[in-house]
């Protein structure tokens, strides 16, 4: 395959990946982008989708959003906004809350950085997950932070017992 042919194909694939992410309203995962891309370009591979998402993210044309061990979700950064994540299924939604420019100014006065923006994310359990039959077995809200980091909460009673010995 000639270099020109490879470059043209990659460009067409990259444009397709960018278009899919840009038209999506649900912050798709790489696998979801791949499934949609495959319908229009059957020869595209999952590796190609991942490479193009990484390249687009590196160029700032696509933003990668990640929570703990859940699959990354992608979006085209069209405006400043906040997100709400489901800690159960990894669902990511835009939050209809206006961007707080005053918060940027307030933080700017507290630090010596030239701030460009801030990001704020909210974490909870989405309506679909709350309706699932195993809802009673879920983590308590106090455990969300540990769940997001993919860690189990350490047993503090063991540590305090060990110190006394």
Q: Does the pLDDT value for residue 156 go beyond 60?
A: no
Residue 158, CA distances (Å) to 25, 85, 149, 164, 165 in order: 46, 32, 22, 10, 11
User: Are residues 108 and 71 located together in one domain of the fold?
Assistant: no
Tokens of 153: 């909460």
Higher pLDDT, 34 or 60: 34
Write the pLDDT tens digit of every residue in 105-117. Answer: 899 999 988 888 8
Please tell me whether residues 105 and 132 are part of one structural domain.
Answer: yes
Same domain, 50 and 67: yes
Question: HSE on the CB side for 146, CA within 13 Å?
Answer: 10
CA–CA gap between residue 20 and residue 30 (Å, rounded): 11
pTM: 0.67
Same domain, 1 and 73: yes
Task: Print the domain residue range for 95.
Answer: 79-152
The CATH number given to whatever domain includes residue 16 is 1.10.10.10
Residues 94 and 33 in one domain: no
Judge whether 163 lies within some domain: no
Whether residue 51 is contained in a domain is answered as yes
């Amino acid at each position: 395959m000639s270099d020109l042919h490879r470059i043209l194909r990659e460009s067409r694939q990259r444009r397709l990946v960018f278009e899919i992410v840009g038209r999506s309203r649900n912050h798709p995962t790489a696998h979801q982008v791949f499934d949609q891309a495959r319908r229009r370009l059957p020869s595209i591979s999952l590796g190609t989708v991942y490479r193009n998402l990484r390249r687009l993210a590196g160029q700032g044309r696509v933003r990668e959003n990640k929570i703990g061990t859940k699959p990354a979700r992608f979006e085209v950064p069209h405006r400043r906004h906040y997100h709400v994540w489901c800690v159960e299924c990894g669902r990511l939604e835009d939050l209809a809350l206006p961007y707080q420019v005053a918060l940027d100014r307030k933080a700017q006065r507290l630090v010596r950085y030239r701030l460009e923006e801030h990001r704020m994310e909210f974490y909870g359990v989405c309506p679909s997950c709350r309706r699932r039959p195993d809802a009673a077995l879920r983590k308590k809200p106090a455990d969300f932070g540990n769940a997001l980091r993919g860690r189990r909460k350490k047993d503090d009673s063991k540590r305090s017992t060990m110190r006394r010995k």
